[in-house]
Structure 1
Amino acid sequence: MPLPTPALDDRTFQDIVDEAKRLIPQYCPEWTNHNVSDPGVALIELFAWMSEMVLYRVNQVPERLYVHFLNMVGIQPFPPAVARTDLTFWLSAVLESEVVVPANTEVMTTVGASAQSEAVVFSTLDDLVIGPPTLEAAMTTTQAGTHAVDVWDDLRFDPQGARCFASTELTPGDSFCLGFRQSLAGMVLQLSIEAQAEGIGVDPTRPPLVWEVWNGEGWIPAGVHSDSTGGLNRAGDIVLLIPVEHSPVAVGNQSAYWLRARLLAPAEGQPSYKASPRVRSIEVAALGGTVRAEHAVRLHGETLGRSDGSPGQSFAVSRFPVLPRRDGEEVRVVEGDQVTTWREVEDFSGSSETDRTYVWDSGTGVVHFGPRVRYPDGSIRQHGAIPRDGARIEVSGYRHGGGRRGNVGARTLTLLRTTVPFVNGVINLAPARGGVDAESVAEAKVRGPLTLRTGQRAVTAGDYERLTLESSIEVARARCQPAGRGNGAVKLLVVPHVRGDVAGHRIDDYAISNDLLTTISTELDEHRVVGTAVEVGTPYYQGVSVVALVHSSPGRPPGLVRQRATDALNRYINPLVGGPDGIGWPFDGDLNVAVITQLLEAVEGIERVEEALLYEYDLRTARRLGSAKDVIRLDRQSLFLSAVHQVVVR
């Protein structure tokens, strides 16, 4: 157990009042009325109240020293995490030459009506090159992918056009593949199709098709923005949003950047093709492009001040927190006409007096230069060079941003801060995710002792969980389990932070982004024991649907009672804020009807619960599974997540 924190002065208000009254006979014997109504006693109590406030502040000194100690050993709060999303730029017209949207192009939300509502700004991470695509091949493949038929000549020269699916039986998995000369990564692609209505029987508003591209590891879906062809059945345009990953692959012994339309097994009530559609011609054009962006504002060169030649100097930038530096974002020292670029390090432990190094605190934006340290043998050593007296300290540029404020909704980033030639619009078709506020001092105080106690090794399950939590502020929970192969491998189940009302949480919100997965894997790889394989993944989220019949108290609006009951269920059955302790549903924690009944009975406005039923729920197909249960059990790699609850109020 931790050592108890001593109070420097444990006297209370009443102790001070009693002590002052005991001194009255000694210093003022003529004062004999000690009742609370006496003006002198009122002054004593006022003095005691003021003294108690001073003692309270005095007793905070150990806490202040504790924080200073954490600073000394290098335990600092995590800076905020940055929200990211994909921005789609739309061209003003179909062009025959390349259009470049440069990196760091800034896009923002509209400014709200209130004065406190500031626009949220996102910056693109890379150059977006939108060039005219070149179609150079066409194939049809069967379900197994072992048989490919070249239909390129049929598509160009045959008046009847090319069959989209080679199998006579139209087996799900058959594909119509289009090969391109260059990568379509991130492109908004328009396919202008001439077709005849031979693929009859299909519902033109929802054909059993999915468009996919190869990303180097597998086929991933491309978004369909619009389709006026009725599923390749008539002349029209298909506008596709190609993912930001697109790699070449060989189809039928021909290597190209392939885009394919794959036939799906029809869902319940969905009609399928009775015959393969035929396409007579296809023209391709680029309507825009998609690029990754992050919640950041690019700030250009800034002068921080002048050096006075002393060790341990520090200078602060005007905006903070500062995002992790990129190439070209650095500190420069200017002496007359001479400009030198210094190197950023994590600390000065490995720096000598000639090393031009500095430490840049991302959370506070403060740039530190090397200190002079006196060692036990009396020697004094300078860690890191000192800018000469009078030298000007500058930063070439940096980016400011981060925090949950950047988790904006879909279709909210619509304003370009600067014009881009031939671009007439921009939008984020998906919400931004990953923004987390900086770690608070209280959270850092809890994490500090754990870090000092176990160091930076990863041996036990607790070590892996702690390092996973420390790898990124985007990680909310981590659970380490054996991978089950009997070879010492471990598996990390990660639950990321999901912001917003828990009623709006969906299973896709709990997916781990590629950036977060890379961050966690890199951190664990540095500290794992040699020979230990580490797998990083997500828990299996078991959907739960509650059906309850409750009776409300007299005079309570049924709609309000129903909403309160549903909110309570959504919060309780949740991976982040659910469970008995409100810190997330526990791993291995089963759910039973008795607990749900107690939860609903505690909701304001509910008089009694007549009946409660539990259903397992498939979060992907959005339907209940099986019959009602009294207990739903979890395995070691699962967590509960609320689905659609139904509360009937009488």
Structure 2
Amino acid sequence: MSLPVPNLDDRRFQDLVDEAKRMIPSLTPEWTNHNVADPGVALIELFAWMSEQVIYRLNQVPDRLYVDFLNLLGTSPFSAAPARVPLTFWLSAPTEQPVVIPAGTEVTTAGGGTIVFSTVDTLRIQQPTVTGALTSTSETAYTDVLPQLHYDRDTVTCFSSEPVAPGDAFNLGFDVPLAGQVVELTIQTAERGIGVDPTRVPITWEVWSGEHWLATEVIKDTTGGLNQGGAVRMVVPDGHRPLLLGGQRLHWLRVRLLEAEEGQPTFRSSPKLTNLTAVSLGGTVAAEHARTVLGEVLGSSDGTPGQRFALTHRPVLPRREAEEVVVTVDGAPQTYTEVADFGASGPADRHVVFDESAGSIEFGPRVRYPDGTSVQHGAVPPFGAQVTLPTYRTGGGAAGNIAAERLTALRTAIAYVDRVTNLHPARGGVDAETVDEVKVRGPRTLRTGQRAVTPSDFEQLTLEASPQVARARCVVPDTPLDPVHVLVVPTSDRDPRALELDDFALTPELFATVRQHLDARRTLGSLVRVSAPYYQGVSVVVRLRATEGRSANAVRERVDAAIARFLSPLEGGPRRDGWSFGVDLHAAVLISLIEEVPGVAVVDELALFEYDLRNGQRLGDMVAAITLDPGALFLVGANQVVVR
């Protein structure tokens, strides 16, 4: 069997001849004789034959050289992107001295698996002390209740308005920030709040971030919303900052009464507390799918330009500040700075280029110019110099998108740390770009010229900003003064039936990456706004009959999967590249789709419902079609498939 041949240009001899003849009337209208005996037509056929030979040779170019040609034009494959997830470290017992989890601490799946995550920042776990307590009825009216809280025979009314009103708060001040901490408040109550449902309490726990109040993640509450003695355990988000409240500058944590939702009972009288203590049970810090390689010797220089050294591990993740190439010459280390290319590098510039996908580094080449001169771009390590990479990180890929509670094994024991886990799934991991994907992206990149002018330019540059971007849509502003609105759909490797609204939320890292990439390439005076699209929830109810002898359960699974895949923002639509922005959905389209599913005999009835993706319930009456705004996409909720 012969090797597959790329088909870069499928035009043949006759195609080229016909194309040239079609251009004759517009270019040389006086030329009217197009017969094969005409000398001009003979020249056309000659050049067509020569062009066909060039196309044939071009189609023999292997994928490796095709990618090399794209590299010369500044287009290189995207490296793998690492998944990220918060890791929670639990203490064996509260300790008086702080417990430090250093950056780079590695955690893996149980059993010593190959999926390794490492912490991005240093985590410091220390025990907090309640040094302030205030009740508030507005943003300016505060009452100091710390003495009553410390005195066992006294009580503190949490929400002090008469009657209790939304916005009332009970504020606790701490001497140290609680950012990233797992805090447990042990609460003793004197009186319950009257009128509230303990399972649906309209309260929220918040901390001050420096700009606004951030909600904490409550993972355990045995108090029934401050209605009985118990404990409230929460994960405090990053960025806990001090704030001046009631004349006291402390790190504040507050419980605030919310406006009750429809059908939700609220307090008619406030709960009262007799005592409250706080301890830190652990801490949470961001981690990414990566592991650190230390002290790798890449080899010795032979003194020639354009040397390339391969790393032991690949792909290589983007370098941090201390991750630099070191060349040792006669015992003296020299640091080489990473650059995107050698275009602006001189002969004395110690520069190096990383190929993240291939896992290699390259030193500057010597380039011969048309006038006969040769210029060295970037310094060349002298003969015998040792090339080392003291530290770098490797990892990334879709394999890092693991479920919650999977990362449970510390690779190195840490004093006072009992266990570790990820309370949430890891997301954001993307495999390295394939050659076929580069072939598609490369020509589009050349058309944009790395400048965002037209809507298609904005969309293509957004796709190039990060491998975590799956789709992009540019909404043209109504007036020249309005900002250009770019909608970003992130990647996800989850089953279309399991996709949720949170899977398409833009992480702060991805938002910043796209925004900076577009800001550097926009035209002068234009404004760019980056956000996620609006996702319209849809639920499909279908009643059908299965082919005789087919399993009803199997047919139901196939139909449910087909609907979810067809409406998916990532792989939906007729071309399997994602449901188009702003395209309406009609019941007749889904009926045609379902009737093609193996095992389906006939569709008896199909109805569409709008769906509340947050509350998980259908809205309104059934409809025959659902319309979409130009910047919206569908996201499937709970479908109901009845098979007879």
TM-score, normalising length from structure 2?
0.89
Q: Does 2:386 match 1:381? A: no
* Residues 569-588 of structure 1 mapped to structure 2, 5 A cutoff: 569-588=563-582
Residue 109 of structure 2 is matched in structure 1 by 109
Q: Is residue 555–residue 643 contact of structure 2 (8 Å, CA) maintained in 1? A: yes
- Following TM superposition, by how much is the alpha carbon of 1:272 offset from its aligned partner in structure 2, in angstroms? 3.2
Q: Secondary structure at the match of 1:178?
A: strand
* Residues 451-600 of structure 1 mapped to structure 2, 5 A cutoff: 451-484=445-478, 487-600=481-594
Residue 132 of structure 2 is matched in structure 1 by 137
- Following TM superposition, by how much is the alpha carbon of 1:227 offset from its aligned partner in structure 2, in angstroms? 2.0
- Following TM superposition, by how much is the alpha carbon of 1:640 offset from its aligned partner in structure 2, in angstroms? 0.6
Residue 357 of structure 2 is matched in structure 1 by 363
Query: 1:141-179: CA deviations, max 9, x gaps?
Result: 33x534333322332347332111012222233221212
Query: 1:182-240: CA deviations, max 9, x gaps?
Result: 21110011212222233144343443322112223332221112222232233322211
In the alignment, the residues of structure 1 paired with residue 12 and residue 362 of structure 2 have an alpha-carbon distance, to the nearest angstrom, of: 35
- Following TM superposition, by how much is the alpha carbon of 1:332 offset from its aligned partner in structure 2, in angstroms? 0.9
Moved more, 411-420 or 275-284: 275-284
Moved more, 530-539 or 485-494: 485-494
Residue 71 of structure 1 is matched in structure 2 by 71
Cα distance change of structure 1 residues 483 and 405 upon mapping to structure 2, 3 Å threshold? same
Amino acid at match of 2:399: R
* Match 1:408 to one of 391, 402, 411: 402
* Match 1:122 to one of 113, 117, 123: 117
Residue 646 of structure 1 is matched in structure 2 by 640
Query: 1:268-319: CA deviations, max 9, x gaps?
Result: 6654333201112221111110000000011101111111111111111100
Q: Is residue 67–residue 438 contact of structure 2 (8 Å, CA) maintained in 1? A: no
Query: 1:529-588: CA deviations, max 9, x gaps?
Result: 122111111111100011111111112221111111111111111111112221111111
Q: Does 2:75 match 1:80? A: no
* Residues 137-176 of structure 1 mapped to structure 2, 5 A cutoff: 137-142=132-137, 145-157=139-151, 159-176=153-170
In the alignment, the residues of structure 2 paired with residue 288 and residue 351 of structure 1 have an alpha-carbon distance, to the nearest angstrom, of: 49
Residue 249 of structure 2 is matched in structure 1 by 255
Share of identical aligned residues, percent? Answer: 50
Q: Is residue 192–residue 226 contact of structure 2 (8 Å, CA) maintained in 1? A: no
Q: Is residue 483–residue 535 contact of structure 1 (8 Å, CA) maintained in 2? A: no
- Following TM superposition, by how much is the alpha carbon of 1:622 offset from its aligned partner in structure 2, in angstroms? 1.3
* Residues 162-241 of structure 1 mapped to structure 2, 5 A cutoff: 162-241=156-235
Q: Is residue 67–residue 76 contact of structure 2 (8 Å, CA) maintained in 1? A: no
Residue 424 of structure 1 is matched in structure 2 by 418
Stretches of structure 2 lacking an aligned partner (at least 5 in a row): 1-6, 14-54
In the alignment, the residues of structure 2 paired with residue 537 and residue 187 of structure 1 have an alpha-carbon distance, to the nearest angstrom, of: 30
- Following TM superposition, by how much is the alpha carbon of 1:247 offset from its aligned partner in structure 2, in angstroms? 2.3
Residue 51 of structure 1 is matched in structure 2 by none
Query: 1:398-448: CA deviations, max 9, x gaps?
Result: 111000000011110000000011101001000111000011111111111
The alignment's C-alpha RMSD in Å is 2.2
* Match 1:4 to one of 3, 9, 23: 9
Residue 629 of structure 2 is matched in structure 1 by 635
Q: Does 2:349 match 1:344? A: no
- Following TM superposition, by how much is the alpha carbon of 1:75 offset from its aligned partner in structure 2, in angstroms? 1.2
In the alignment, the residues of structure 2 paired with residue 647 and residue 63 of structure 1 have an alpha-carbon distance, to the nearest angstrom, of: 46
Cα distance change of structure 1 residues 334 and 511 upon mapping to structure 2, 3 Å threshold? same
Q: Secondary structure at the match of 1:295?
A: strand
Residue 390 of structure 1 is matched in structure 2 by 384
In the alignment, the residues of structure 1 paired with residue 282 and residue 477 of structure 2 have an alpha-carbon distance, to the nearest angstrom, of: 44
In the alignment, the residues of structure 2 paired with residue 531 and residue 140 of structure 1 have an alpha-carbon distance, to the nearest angstrom, of: 48
In the alignment, the residues of structure 1 paired with residue 567 and residue 242 of structure 2 have an alpha-carbon distance, to the nearest angstrom, of: 44
Q: Secondary structure at the match of 2:163?
A: coil
In the alignment, the residues of structure 2 paired with residue 472 and residue 100 of structure 1 have an alpha-carbon distance, to the nearest angstrom, of: 33
In the alignment, the residues of structure 2 paired with residue 253 and residue 594 of structure 1 have an alpha-carbon distance, to the nearest angstrom, of: 66
- Following TM superposition, by how much is the alpha carbon of 1:483 offset from its aligned partner in structure 2, in angstroms? 4.8
Q: Secondary structure at the match of 1:360?
A: strand
Cα distance change of structure 1 residues 283 and 380 upon mapping to structure 2, 3 Å threshold? same
Residue 41 of structure 1 is matched in structure 2 by none
Cα distance change of structure 1 residues 255 and 486 upon mapping to structure 2, 3 Å threshold? farther
Q: Is residue 141–residue 166 contact of structure 1 (8 Å, CA) maintained in 2? A: yes
Q: Secondary structure at the match of 1:61?
A: coil
In the alignment, the residues of structure 2 paired with residue 6 and residue 66 of structure 1 have an alpha-carbon distance, to the nearest angstrom, of: 19
In the alignment, the residues of structure 1 paired with residue 72 and residue 10 of structure 2 have an alpha-carbon distance, to the nearest angstrom, of: 20
Amino acid at match of 1:549: R
Q: Is residue 334–residue 393 contact of structure 1 (8 Å, CA) maintained in 2? A: yes
- Following TM superposition, by how much is the alpha carbon of 1:337 offset from its aligned partner in structure 2, in angstroms? 2.1
In the alignment, the residues of structure 1 paired with residue 485 and residue 248 of structure 2 have an alpha-carbon distance, to the nearest angstrom, of: 39
Q: Secondary structure at the match of 1:342?
A: strand
- Following TM superposition, by how much is the alpha carbon of 1:607 offset from its aligned partner in structure 2, in angstroms? 0.9
- Following TM superposition, by how much is the alpha carbon of 1:500 offset from its aligned partner in structure 2, in angstroms? 1.6
Q: Secondary structure at the match of 1:399?
A: strand
Q: Does 2:267 match 1:273? A: yes
- Following TM superposition, by how much is the alpha carbon of 1:180 offset from its aligned partner in structure 2, in angstroms? 1.8
Q: Does 2:251 match 1:246? A: no
